[in-house]
Every structure is written in structure tokens, then in C-alpha cells.
């Protein structure tokens, strides 16, 4: 009786670049989460469009096309948002006369201001939830690790997002249009450009989910679904001992401070949609 041939080693099956635990099966844009959150997308980005937003607000983009100056376009955008969403006439949007306006005033401007102040606050929860529903990329951290849906941190995140959206005036639709305008403006400012080199100060690389390591201080990391970066390398050094450097696809820029002049202090912050990225780690 002959002995069986030796067993051949089973080849390692590489995990997908975006783990299934970090994404939803569906989203509301033109690419599925597994693609737009991948390393391939970082290298070869294409425009992202939230379903129906550009077509529904065609009048706004016709008005923007007539303006040649960045500041004028920002003014036209702000005016359109105010009128379309009744931001200064909340009763017309359904607010009961005499009712407190605190929650109804939770508009897109307050969301980006709140994010700049504390990305783990209520506004941060709203924005991360918005990224989940529009792009299908799940939040990984908000005042704690969110890897386990049944955890206390995850339940607090859900509650904060729900409180942030309660009694607001089409807040997620406002964010849809803010992102779409941001993409329009980035294209107008520099049409051929596909990436920005941005920086993020960190104290330890293990603050991020490491999926792989490469030579020359390169890492493959899974970022939170929304993150703050800066275009100023020296500014990034103020927030950590090490600097994370990444090539960010322009379609993954949700907002940047210079988009709406005078809204936020400083001009170098970029709010970036997450996923898997190849990054470099260095010191200043």
C-alpha cells in the first residue's frame, strides 16, 4: 500500500483591502463601499456622486458656473442653502411658532464648526453617521472603539447621532449638498489634480488599524470613516510626535476650511473620508 502524497501547503488567501466589518453592503453613491474604501481607489480615484444631488440642485450649479471668483461662488452657495432649506425662515420649514429653535438651527454650518471643535462630539457623530449612509464606510471610533456593535461605546455613538439629527431641517440633505459643492469647487480650482498630500499628527502608529507594513516606513492602515488632516506639515507636528503622510484622493475630501471663507479659523484643515490608505510615518 502506497502512502498518500504529502499535503501541499494551502496558499494564504489575502483579506480584501477593506474588511467586511468596516463597510455596509449598500450605499447612496456611484461606487460600492468595497471599491471606494479600497487601496486601489486611493491610487486610481474617480469622481464620487451622491445619488440625485447634482441633478436635484441643477439650478445652484448653473449659478455657480456663472461666477469666476472663489469667494463669489461661496457666497452664492451660502445664499442658496439659506433659501432652499429655509435656514432663516424656520417656520416655513415646519417649525411650530414659538417653539425653541435650538435644534432647528443645527444646520450644516454648525456641523462643521462642531467637528472642528470636537470630532467626538454630537456633531461628529452626525457626520460619521452621514458617511455611513452615503458611502457605506462604518465608523471605527467615536469616544471609544466601535468594532463591536453591541458595546457601550457603539450604543453611545448611535444615541449621539440620533440626538444630533432629531428635529433638524433636512440636515443630511444639507450635508449632501455641502459635499457636492466641495467637489465642484475643488475641480474648479485645479481641474487636472487627483490627489492632495495631507498630514496628520499622531503619537503612536497603533492609534490606527494596521493592515500591513512595507519598506521605508510605509503602512497600510484602515482610517476612521471621517478624519481631520492638514495641508501644513509643521501644523501636523503640533498634534503628535509623529507625522502620518497620505496621498488623499480629491473625491474623498468632504470639506476644507477655505471652502467657505470666514467660517472657521485657520485655512489648512481638511476633513477626509476614510477607508484603507497607504501612508508614510515620519518625524518632523
Tell me, what's the pLDDT at 8? 40
Tell me, what's the pLDDT at 266? 67
Report pLDDT digits (tens) over 229-243.
999 998 888 888 889
- What percentage of the chain's residues is helix, strand, coil (to nearest 5)? 40, 20, 40
Tell me, what's the pLDDT at 245? 96
Distance of alpha carbon 201 from alpha carbon 233, whole angstroms: 9
Report pLDDT digits (tens) over 9-43.
333 334 458 999 999 999 999 999 999 999 999 99
First CA to last CA across the chain, in angstroms?
A: 68
- Arithmetic mean of pLDDT over the chain: 89
Report pLDDT digits (tens) over 37-67.
999 999 999 999 999 999 999 999 999 999 9
Pairing of strands 269-282, 218-230: antiparallel
Q: In terms of pLDDT, which residue wins out, 11 or 89?
A: 89
Confidence of residue 95 (pLDDT cuts 50, 70, 90): low
Distance of alpha carbon 125 from alpha carbon 108, whole angstroms: 13
DSSP state of 107: -
Record the cell numbers describing residue 207, joined without a space.
Answer: 492609534
Tell me, what's the pLDDT at 13? 38
Query: pTM for the full model?
Result: 0.91
pLDDT(103) > 70:
no
Residue 188 vs residues 24, 48, 69, 185, 248: alpha-carbon distances, Å:
32, 16, 10, 5, 18
Amino acid at each position: 500500500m502506497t502512502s498518500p502524497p504529502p499535503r501541499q501547503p494551502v496558499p494564504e488567501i489575502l483579506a480584501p483591502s477593506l474588511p467586511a466589518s468596516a463597510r455596509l453592503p449598500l450605499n447612496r453613491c456611484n461606487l460600492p463601499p468595497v471599491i471606494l474604501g479600497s487601496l486601489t481607489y486611493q491610487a486610481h480615484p474617480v469622481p464620487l456622486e451622491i445619488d440625485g444631488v447634482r441633478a436635484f440642485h441643477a439650478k445652484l450649479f448653473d449659478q455657480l458656473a456663472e461666477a469666476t471668483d472663489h469667494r463669489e461662488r461661496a457666497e452664492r452657495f451660502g445664499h442658496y442653502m439659506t433659501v432652499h432649506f429655509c435656514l432663516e425662515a424656520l417656520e416655513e420649514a415646519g417649525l411650530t411658532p414659538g417653539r425653541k429653535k435650538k435644534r432647528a438651527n443645527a444646520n450644516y454650518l454648525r456641523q462643521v464648526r462642531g467637528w472642528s471643535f470636537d470630532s467626538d462630539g454630537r456633531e461628529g457623530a452626525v457626520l460619521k453617521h452621514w458617511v455611513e449612509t452615503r458611502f457605506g464606510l462604518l465608523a471605527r471610533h467615536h469616544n471609544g472603539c466601535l468594532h463591536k456593535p453591541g458595546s457601550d461605546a457603539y450604543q453611545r455613538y448611535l444615541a449621539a447621532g440620533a440626538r444630533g439629527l432629531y428635529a433638524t431641517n433636512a440636515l443630511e440633505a444639507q450635508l449632501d449638498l455641502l459635499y457636492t459643492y466641495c467637489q465642484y469647487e475643488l475641480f474648479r480650482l485645479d481641474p487636472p489634480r487627483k490627489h492632495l498630500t495631507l498630514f496628520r499628527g499622531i503619537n503612536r502608529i497603533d492609534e490606527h488599524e494596521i493592515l500591513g507594513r512595507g519598506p521605508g516606513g510605509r503602512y497600510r492602515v484602515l482610517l476612521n470613516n471621517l478624519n481631520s488632516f492638514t495641508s501644513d506639515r509643521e501644523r501636523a507636528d503640533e498634534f503628535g510626535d509623529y507625522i502620518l503622510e497620505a496621498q488623499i484622493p480629491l473625491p474623498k475630501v468632504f470639506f476644507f476650511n477655505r471652502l467657505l471663507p470666514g467660517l472657521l479659523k485657520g485655512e489648512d484643515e481638511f476633513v477626509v473620508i476614510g477607508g484603507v490608505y497607504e501612508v508614510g510615518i515620519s518625524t518632523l
